[in-house]
Structure 1
Amino acid sequence: MLPTDSTKKLSFNRCIGDGDLVIVYERHDSMKAVKVCRSSVLQNRFGMFKHSDWIGKPFGSKVFSNKGGFVYLLAPTPELWTLVLSHRTQILYIADISFVIMYLEIVPGCLVLESGTGSGSLTTSLARAVAPTGHVYTYDFHEQRAASAREDFERTGVSSFVTVEVRDIQGEGFPDEFSGLADSIFLDLPQPWMVIPSAEKMLKQDGILCSFSPCIEQVQRSCKSLQSNFTDIRTFEILLRTYEVRQGKADSLTHKRKKHPNEGSNEQVNPSTATVMARPCGETRGHTGYLTFARLKCLS
């Protein structure tokens, strides 16, 4: 059931080959995923880039166009993939993802159950966290979404650590074959409380469950269902505020310093020097959802 091949790796410490997926980085807010094809070209505002020039270069390379412009060819890590993937559903972003992996105590070798798969943003990071000896079993009731997710996991190199199945977890629960084997479970469902009895059976003793819900009413009902056989029930809302840091000239207004009467008149200072400035980004992500965690009670 659980893959045990310790030779499997998730690594991009190699050169780019024909057919590889790369993240073309123009700037922090302009990236796209591109499949390398020897006969293809990429055209953007910086000029034309031949894919054939990319083959054989290591990930992270700076490559130039016919006009002298340049981009960086980055590896499709889970963090970057979250920023460029196709949104088939609402996705989790890095702030929520990192929090989920920490609080679910996911480490290499863990067996993780997830429902639903959606666009696969979280799944990709879960796969990296359990590699090389763990595995993620993820479920979605929508057959086309599941098929698209499989393709994405192949493209990003994590398919060895992920199994995608079509199943209505909310209606059927998790497969009995995982009873008592799961280290962690993640739920992203409209009615997670319906799955909690099944999740309880799947978890190992002291295993942890996380439920992601956009509405507080869903959280309240889930917490009520968790109280019987779970402990350490906590809910978090992750709000992230990012800053832009850039160098420029700060033409400050005239600063007046009031002197002591014995020092004479006020002194005016008009600095106009290069400096590093930081300011909040114009677009800040607000509420995404509530993360509710609970630990299965140990049998006495």
Structure 2
Amino acid sequence: MSEENITDQKLAVEEACKIQQTSHFLEFSTVIKENDLVLAWLTRDNTKPIRPIKDGAFHTRFGSFQHNTILASKYGTQIGSSSSTQAGFIHVLHPTPELWSLSLPHRTQIVYTPDASYIVQRLRIRPGTHVIEAGTGSASFTHAMARTVGVRGRIWTFEFHEQRFQLAAKELEEHGLASVVKATHGDVCKNGFTHSCGDTLDASAVFLDLPAPWEAIPHLTTVISKSKITRICCFSPCMEQVQRTIEILQKNGWLDIEMVEVSCKRWEAHKEMVRKPEDAIERLRDIKRRRMDGLNKRNARVDAERATLNLSADNADTDSATDTDRGKFKKANKSESPSSAEFNPWGKGKRIHEGEEGYEWKNVSKVEAELKTHTSYLTFAYLPPPMRVHEETINCD
């Protein structure tokens, strides 16, 4: 076998190894192995990334959680605290771009899931797509695109800030995404994309999260696809930047330019108790009963206090008896409860859990009052491939 063939085989093996490199963001697994990335769900707004190792521990305000217990569990398991004084729990979750955006260490403003999902759809990013991203930042959106393009796709992400680039590149390597994502340090606004990367990109989707995207747009002509429609999205925090971006897009032949602002609200579904007029009447009666019980208890306490004040303070035995009687009264008074303590159609008294038997429930849903918007505008456009002109030889004879 020739040296050339041996070299080709080695290159093929190395390329296959890169493709087969496992990543929790590209493949799903139920088994938690040592040093795997695990997202510990503490509360709705608090998710922490951990890498369990043998005999390690994860300490939180909800208690201490042993790594050996996590390694013996599967993704999605609820794990109780090993602390004797704290009875909290956590859920160990499989990494996804959505959960990672909630737990990653912020180095810059990030693209959250509502924006990320909309951008991926508008840019028509699919398995196998080649994507250019300028402005890696915290690499939140990079993870979302990497999952979409899969092992057959390719992402070139550029970051001009050296420290942020090093942290992002290390993070992508640790997450097993180096075979899909190539992180590059360089200023694409001044030097373009090929000068910083040196590859033939042939991208059909472009995402620019830059302070001045209009400076990078003219450099795209040498790196985008010549056979497909190329779509672009610019992430800009103010309208002045959007206006300058639109001017450059128009000047460079981009079409169907559109600015979008994504606003989202969460829908909440739950069960609500069916309230009837009879329940309202009974509730008023219950309030009246509780008021009378409170007045009776107050009057009894006042009478008991007056009786103790009338006793002679000089007689020790009498004082001792008074203290005993007062203690008996307090104990008896403490044990008393309103006669209607168990009644509660929707007020005080017995605590009723959602969906509890014995009551009529209906399924309802509502949208939260707060309107959540991102801090940037999304500018979309597309560029058709250049027209091919076929030269024809004309025979004048």
Q: Which category of TM-score, normalised to the shorter sequence, fits these structures?
A: 0.7 to 0.9
Residue 143 of structure 1: how far off its partner (Å): 1.0
Is residue 76 of structure 1 aligned with residue 95 of structure 2?
A: yes
Q: Which residue of 2 aligns with 1:214?
A: 237
Following superposition, the deviation at residue 69 of structure 1 comes to 3.3
**Counterpart Cα distance in 2 of 1:57 and 1:80:** 19
Contact 2:217 2:249 in 1 (8 A): yes
Q: CA deviation at 1:129?
A: 1.0
Return the alpha-carbon distance in structure 1 between the equivalents of residues 65 and 29 of structure 2.
23
Provide runs of 4+ in structure 1 moved above 6 Å: 250-256
Aligned position for 2:254: 230
TM-score (norm 1): 0.85
Q: Paired residue for 1:295?
A: 382
What's 2:154 paired with? 135
Does the C-alpha gap of structure 1 residues 254 and 21 become closer, same or farther in structure 2, counting only changes over 3 Å? Answer: same
Residues 116-168 of structure 1, C-alpha deviations (whole Å, 9 max, x = no match): 10011101111111111111111111111011112222343323211111101
Q: Would you say 1:240 and 2:261 are equivalent positions?
A: no
Q: What do residues 12-40 of structure 1 show as CA deviations (whole Å, max 9, x unaligned)? A: 31411111111111332221111212222
Equivalent residues in 2 for 1:160-171, closer than 5 Å: 160-171=179-190
Counterpart for residue 262 of structure 1? none
Distance 1:12 1:91 in 2: 24
Partners of 2:108 and 2:201 lie apart in 1 by 30
Q: Say if 1:246 and 1:276, in contact at 8 Å, map to a contact too.
A: yes
Give the 3 Å change call, closer, same or farther, for CA 254–33 of structure 1 in structure 2.
Answer: farther
Tell me whether 81-90 or 46-55 shows the greater mean CA deviation. 46-55
Q: TM-score, normalized by length of structure 2?
A: 0.65
Give the 3-state SS of the residue equivalent to 1:54 in structure 2: helix
The CA RMSD measured in Å over matched residues stands at 2.7
Higher helix share goes to which structure? 2
Distance 1:227 1:252 in 2: 63
Alignment of 1:122 onto 2:209: no
SS at match of 1:139: strand
- Relative to its length, the structure with more strand (as a share) is 1
Give the number of aligned pairs.
285
| Identity across matched positions, percent | 35
Q: Distance in 1 between matches of 2:272 and 2:89?
A: 23
Contact 2:265–2:370 (8 Å) recurs in 1 = no
Matched to 1:216, the amino acid is: M
Structure 1: how far apart are the matches of 2:104 and 2:274?
38
Which piece of structure 1 moves more, 57-66 or 160-169?
Answer: 57-66
**1:254 CA drift (Å):** 9.4
Distance verdict in 2 for CA 1:171–1:280, change over 3 Å: same
For 1:15, give the aligned amino acid: V
| Structure 2 CA distance for partners of 1:97 and 1:254, relative to 1, 3 Å | farther
Q: 2:278 matched to 1:191?
A: no
Partner of 2:172: 153
Q: Could you list the per-position Cα deviations for residues 34-58 of structure 1 after superposition, in whole angstroms to 9, with x for gaps in the alignment?
A: 1212222122243221001111432
Structure 1 residue 226, shift from structure 2 partner: 0.9
Secondary structure, aligned partner of 2:264: coil
Q: Residue in 2 aligned with 1:42?
A: 58
Structure 2 gap segments, 5+ residues each:
1-13, 281-343, 347-359, 388-397
CA distance in structure 2 between the partners assigned to 1:101 and 1:47 by the alignment: 39
Could you tell me how far 1:275 is from its partner in structure 2?
Answer: 5.6
After superposition, the C-alpha distances for 1:219-260 in whole angstroms (9 at most, x for unaligned) are 11111111132112111110111244445668799999xxxx
Match of 1:23 in 2: 39
TM-fit CA distance, 1:283: 5.5
Residue pair 2:260, 2:377 contacting (<8 A) in 1 also: yes
> Secondary structure in 2 aligned to 1:182?
coil
